[in-house]
Structure 1
Amino acid sequence: MPALPRPSQGPGSRYTARAAATRHRSASPTDISALTRRLTGRDIWLARMLHEHRVLTTHQIARLAYPSPRTAQRRLRTLHLYALVDSFRPLTATGSAPEHYTLGRTGATLLAAHANLDPAALGWRPSATGRIAYSPWLGHDLGVNELLTHLAAHTRTARDTELALWLSERSCARRWGDIIRPDAYAHYREGPVVLPFFLEYDTGSQPLARVEAKLAGYAAFTTADGARPALLIHTRTASRDQAIRRRLANPARDLGLSIATSSADFTTTTPWGPWWSPLSAADSQRTTLTRLATHFTHLRPANAVEPSDADTPLTLPVPPLPPSPEASS
């Protein structure tokens, strides 16, 4: 994509999106039939992930699907050449940001063909990467994806663990948008213990009153037996975490919600660890995701997550990890 002018103010003033200048590719569309022997199951999975989660960095993609960042970079350069993916790199005040990947023109055509749809039905436009690069929610989206990719990558090496389901904000809105709009929904399993949870990723930009107002929707969201998933609230800083805990403690108790909070000051790269504190005056000690599942009673998975006749290949949940490892291309 061509470089975009930097706005004089607002989120876009902090960075300029640019495609990797050294990655030359043909201006004419790639015939997807010519790629049938070149694309692997992992490549198609990546296209689906980018459609589902909008933007992933090189590091996030590498930890999910490749043995090393260098292997990921090599394959991503090839996929960029095919236009399966697009990329941009934010301009940072110091240092260098990793490449950020989005769904490319060929990727959108490929997914549409798999679903027997017109590419326009995906909502993809040539300006899609630019809109994501300058979106005021870019940092929020990357934060959500950073948390969940670390959790998914952990299950690649940790014995008897699994991130069985990971739905994006868009998928959640499609299913439950008339009641709640969480930033993600997931099932994390360790051994026989499963934690179904909604995620609210708080960047500190919303007033506390608005955060509190969301609780009524989560309280209305119940399964047939009156239970519901847990609600995890992740904040940028420990001070914001404490402010949210003070504000939500009484409403959460009155509504019967199972809430735990943490912040980037604690979770770092191990969100499954002992960083989550139940929102309860009786027990506010930090604990792991697995122990949260046993701490909270009456947790149940959300409704409407199983595939149905109304689903299409584009609305089915995307597995958080790619197909079985394949030979590097």
Structure 2
Amino acid sequence: MPVADRPTARPRSAYVPRAATKRRRPSQPRATRTDVTTLAARLTPRDRWLTEMLHEHRVLTSHHITTLAFTHHRCANRRLRALYFMGVLDSFRPLTLSGSAPEHYTLGRSGADILAATRATTLESLGWHKDLCTRTAFSPTLDHDLTVNDHLVTLAAAHRTNSEERLALWLSPRSATRLWGDWVRPDAYAHWAHGPKVVPFFLEHDTGTERPLTRLEAKLPGYASLAATTGTRTAVLISTSTRHRERALHARLTETTAQMQLPIATTCAELASTTGLAGPAWLPVNHAGNGRLTLAALAEHWPDLSPAMTTNNEAPLGQPAAWQPVSPLPPGQGDH
């Protein structure tokens, strides 16, 4: 099965502040709008999975969705357009300084209605707002959030070229904060599986604007406290902007990492875009060996890793006990 265009095809030019274009839907009288029950019957399992993913991760581009759930970009765009006109999805296209950006999708009103009905809750409890699409389009953290999603989407799609590799779990910052917000607020939490090996990790993405580096260093005591409180040992992976910043980060974290006994590894944008997060891009802090390690090799480098996500903390605060993480892949593609 061919791999769709990688999400890194998204233009890297900066978004123009507070500028976005949005497609218009044909106006439809209230009396003739499709009710939720009728609309739900028109959705496929993949469509329902997509509403869950967009609720979890807030925004995904057409490239992300193609990579995760389709084999061809044209087929993806056709279905996404249909879901948009049904109101299941909302979308916008940011204006860039050069080139053009792909369509960016968020959860629409009809999709939120169906999701709320499925979970036996309300839109208010679901946390969906009617201006979600606008807030997302003009968010100052949009590019940061999409870069994090780029990394995780690439990992999720790895199963297409290597059946032994898969992203078994992917939690958004919102879910991670609900679970561990008293200690840490990572950009993502995930489990990377390579055969029988599993690497649980928190991901911190540094855009290079968090100056000084003490801001990143200040997050480490929270991870140490989480490990001491829960009795777990989870890797902290930091993606930085440049090799120079990565070297400076290593110099800054060497002593702190040794004192707190935290498993920390770093990479930079140049390596991450070339090898992907699964490749030999990771350099553990205080690493005595030569060269960088693959994501799977971190399990051998730190054989005592254990997941922070357990059956005892599956339900975030304020969520029903039956809450379950969303599979990074649609039904039928993530089973191994």
Which TM-score applies when normalising by structure 2? 0.87
Task: State the one-letter code of the partner of 2:293.
Answer: T
Matched, 1:222 2:227: yes
**Which of 109, 114, 130 pairs up with 1:110?**
114
Residue in 2 that maps onto 1:286: 292
Relative to structure 1, is the Cα distance of residues 83 and 27 closer, same or farther in structure 2, using a 3 angstrom cutoff? farther
Post-superposition offset of 1:263: 1.4
- Contact 1:30-1:83 at 8 Å conserved across structures: no
- Contact 2:51-2:111 at 8 Å conserved across structures: yes
- Contact 2:178-2:316 at 8 Å conserved across structures: no
Matched, 1:160 2:164: yes
After superposition, what is the alpha-carbon deviation per residue over 1:178-225, rounded to whole angstroms, capped at 9, x for unaligned? 011111111111111110101001112212111101000111112788
SS of the counterpart of 1:16?
A: strand
Post-superposition offset of 1:31: 1.3
After superposition, what is the alpha-carbon deviation per residue over 1:55-84, rounded to whole angstroms, capped at 9, x for unaligned? 000000100000111111010000001111
After superposition, what is the alpha-carbon deviation per residue over 1:105-164, rounded to whole angstroms, capped at 9, x for unaligned? 101111110111111222212211111111111111101111000000112331222211
Gaps of 5+ in 2: 1-13
- Contact 1:230-1:258 at 8 Å conserved across structures: yes
Residue in 2 that maps onto 1:78: 82
Task: State the one-letter code of the partner of 2:28.
Answer: S
Matched, 1:26 2:32: no
- Contact 1:231-1:260 at 8 Å conserved across structures: yes
After superposition, what is the alpha-carbon deviation per residue over 1:215-249, rounded to whole angstroms, capped at 9, x for unaligned? 00111112788441101001122222222112111
- In structure 2, what is the Cα distance between the partners aligned to 1:223 and 1:216? 10
Residue in 2 that maps onto 1:92: 96
- In structure 1, what is the Cα distance between the partners aligned to 2:280 and 2:227? 27
Relative to structure 1, is the Cα distance of residues 45 and 142 closer, same or farther in structure 2, using a 3 angstrom cutoff? same
- In structure 2, what is the Cα distance between the partners aligned to 1:283 and 1:315? 42
Post-superposition offset of 1:170: 0.4
SS of the counterpart of 1:199?
A: strand
Residue in 1 that maps onto 2:324: 316
Matches within 5 A, 1:1-329: 13-14=16-17, 16-21=19-24, 23-24=25-26, 26=28, 28=30, 30-207=34-211, 208-222=213-227, 226-268=231-273, 270-283=276-289, 285-304=291-310, 307=314, 311-312=319-320, 315-324=323-332
- In structure 1, what is the Cα distance between the partners aligned to 2:206 and 2:246? 9
- In structure 2, what is the Cα distance between the partners aligned to 1:191 and 1:294? 13
Greater mean deviation of Cα atoms: 310-319 or 61-70: 310-319
Aligned length: 314
- In structure 1, what is the Cα distance between the partners aligned to 2:27 and 2:251? 54
- In structure 2, what is the Cα distance between the partners aligned to 1:189 and 1:16? 39
Task: State the one-letter code of the partner of 1:262.
Answer: T
Relative to structure 1, is the Cα distance of residues 218 and 19 closer, same or farther in structure 2, using a 3 angstrom cutoff? same
After superposition, what is the alpha-carbon deviation per residue over 1:288-321, rounded to whole angstroms, capped at 9, x for unaligned? 0011111113211114456459853884200000
Task: State the one-letter code of the partner of 2:253.
Answer: L
- Contact 1:196-1:230 at 8 Å conserved across structures: yes
- Contact 2:15-2:96 at 8 Å conserved across structures: no
Relative to structure 1, is the Cα distance of residues 295 and 126 closer, same or farther in structure 2, using a 3 angstrom cutoff? same
- In structure 2, what is the Cα distance between the partners aligned to 1:308 and 1:186? 16
Gaps of 5+ in 1: 1-10
- In structure 2, what is the Cα distance between the partners aligned to 1:303 and 1:171? 11
Q: C-alpha root-mean-square deviation of aligned residues, in Å?
A: 2.2
- In structure 2, what is the Cα distance between the partners aligned to 1:314 and 1:57? 29
- In structure 1, what is the Cα distance between the partners aligned to 2:130 and 2:290? 48
Which TM-score applies when normalising by structure 1? 0.89
Post-superposition offset of 1:18: 1.8
Relative to structure 1, is the Cα distance of residues 27 and 315 closer, same or farther in structure 2, using a 3 angstrom cutoff? farther
